[in-house]
Structure 1
Amino acid sequence: MSLNDQHADVLRYTAFATDPKGGNPAGIVLDASGLDDAAMLAIAADLGYSESAFLTPGPAGLGPEGRAFTVRYFSPRAEVPFCGHATVATAVALAERGGPGDFVFATPAGTVPVTVAEDDGVLRATLTSVEPRVEQAAAADVTEALAALGWSADELDPDLPPRIAFAGARHLVLAAATRERLADLAYDFDRLKALMLRLDLTTVQLVWRDPDTEYVFHVRDPFPVGGVVEDPATGAAAAAFGAYARELGLVPAAAELTLYQGADMGRPGVLTVGLREGDARVRVSGAAVRIPS
């Protein structure tokens, strides 16, 4: 046990998978009331996961006692406004202790309701994003991102144009024309990080659309601003991508998308993105399991 772990009860879960060897690991501290910012950052850095979640009781009136929490998220380098996989992992950890049902998280990005249900012995959490938005990506910024990635413009899918999408955190969406292009990821860490810091991006959401179905996508997320080369399964980016897909008319107003992520890293995960007609918010669902000590 590390020095940092001795100051808090740190749980380790992986989200968007039912196998501890898949999905995206997250650290969880269910009672962070005794930790300051430096201590939370130190724990996140010690764990080395893309994000860790730190909980304190939620503000009065947010929700039922014991099921409403203030949640902060730290990468190994800095605090981030929202993290989907750590939210899913945390909700499942809470449900294992207090039973499935509804939770409410007050996050730096806004209020995020989460519902946990059991299906054939597997707990699945569904988060509801804050209000999303999608904006144009400047041509010069796209050019710089491609240069940092080592991609050429003709390797992009013309039917999925670059955009910046937000559903709690900002992500640049770039669509590869082929699965092979998506699989071959070797980028200039410092160059991409500098661009992302300038644009206030959390990840770059790289996607490839399965030509056999309009509802299946394969995705990857470089995360140099968090000190991590690649995020294995990115719930915040999945929510942002759901808003992107709806905004561009790639799918109907009411749809369920399946995003496969992590296979290229050896940590396969599955994210389900739900869109509802008349409700701009995006729902992201997935399983989570504890990582054995």
Structure 2
Amino acid sequence: MNDVDRVPVSIVNACLRDGRGGSPTAVLGESAAGPPRRASPTGASPPAASLTDAERSRVPARFGTSHAVFVTRRDSRSALGAPKQCQSLIGADESTVDVRFFTTEGELPACGHGTVAAIAFLAEQCGGAEHRFRLRASGRSFAGHAVREGDVIHAAFDPGPVTLRDPTPVETDRVIAALGIASDLLAPGPCVASLGRTRMLIPITTPEAVAALAPDLDRLRAACDQLGLLGCYVHSAPTSAGRVVARMFAPSIGVPEDIANANSTACLAAHLADRGVTDLTVEMGDALGSPATITASARESAGRLELLVGGAAIITRTGTL
């Protein structure tokens, strides 16, 4: 067995609904120090610091997940994973944790449910009931928060600023044709939103219409590639209580349909904030047999929109590559 086969992996189901379902995500704790591909004197598995990006992209398929997340402590003196390190992980700038996200198609600048999974992984490493972390992804530093209730960890984070614009008619027509949405099912207010990567938000009239979608994924991938879109987030209009049903199609990044997409939910929260919708509860994953729930809130503070997005998570198993 070579050393890459000994890299420890946790599978985290992120964005559970009522304690079940969620999006299985592979999370690996990396070390920032030295070449680690050798077993320790105690026989413990080495951290994943020397994986290449090509190897990282193979992790999702290897574990049957849509995404893999790699967390690295910036303090190079030690790797994640030992309880004695957890005190310095909390609230200390020098102990910011770097987070990277991969699908089979390569690296992403951000991933919402992957961030929920990373926060749950860190909280599990630290033990205890409540933690705050400082995370860094794609050059942006942001806060994460975890609260444990039994085996379930409730995670929330600041997804960062969202850029919104109206789509052009060409963009809308190409995407809607690939999604197979009849014109009478469209609701007002499609939007192109950027949070790390650009995606299109498409509102349709009812949750039932969302559930019935059967897009042409090859055609959708071609349209998204041409338009520079990460994918398409199709959602129902929010109820008075802020409940939304949504599906995210992202074949361009190797994810035909995402079980849970927290960053697109944050984009929707930003889009709906000026309509007085401040809190969302979004249900996803039912079409894939894995129900998921993401929550998001939007509040004005000091002249800027503050977003918070999150979900519940549980670590279902651990193993090695």
Q: TM-score, normalised by structure 2?
A: 0.81
Answering whether residue 291 of structure 2 is matched by residue 257 of structure 1, we say no
Q: Secondary structure at the match of 2:275?
A: coil
How do 1:6-155 and structure 2 match up within 5 A?
Answer: 6-17=5-16, 22-31=21-30, 32-58=48-74, 64=92, 67-99=95-127, 100-108=130-138, 110-119=140-149, 122-155=152-185
Aligned residue type for 2:309: V
Deviation at 1:42, TM superposition (A): 1.8
Number of the residue aligned with 1:163: 191
Deviations 1:200-240 (A, max 9, x none): 322311100254x2511111101201222210111111111
Q: TM-score, normalised by structure 1?
A: 0.88
Q: Which runs of 5+ in 2 are unaligned?
A: 31-47, 77-88
Deviation at 1:148, TM superposition (A): 0.5
Q: Which runs of 5+ in 1 are unaligned?
A: none
Contact 1:271/1:285 (8 A) holds in 2 = yes
Deviation at 1:180, TM superposition (A): 2.4
Number of the residue aligned with 1:187: 215
Deviation at 1:48, TM superposition (A): 3.7
Of 15-24 and 258-267, more deviation after overlay is shown by 15-24
Deviations 1:37-84 (A, max 9, x none): 111112233234221101222379x96278521111001112111001
Aligned residue type for 2:214: A
Q: Secondary structure at the match of 1:151?
A: coil
Aligned residue type for 2:113: H
Deviation at 1:111, TM superposition (A): 2.1
- Mapped partners of 1:101, 1:80: distance in 2: 26
Of 178-187 and 11-20, more deviation after overlay is shown by 11-20
Aligned residue type for 2:165: E
Number of positions where the alignment pairs a residue of Structure 1 with one of Structure 2 = 284
Q: 1:23 to 1:137 in 2, by over 3 A?
A: same
Counterpart selection for 1:240 from 258, 267, 278: 267
Q: 1:56 to 1:271 in 2, by over 3 A?
A: same
Structure 1 segments, 4+ long, off by >3 Å, are 2-5, 18-21, 119-122
- RMSD (Å) for aligned C-alpha atoms: 2.5
- Mapped partners of 1:288, 1:5: distance in 2: 27
- Mapped partners of 2:110, 2:312: distance in 1: 18
Aligned residue type for 1:292: R
Contact 2:15/2:113 (8 A) holds in 1 = yes
Number of the residue aligned with 2:296: 273
Contact 1:137/1:162 (8 A) holds in 2 = yes
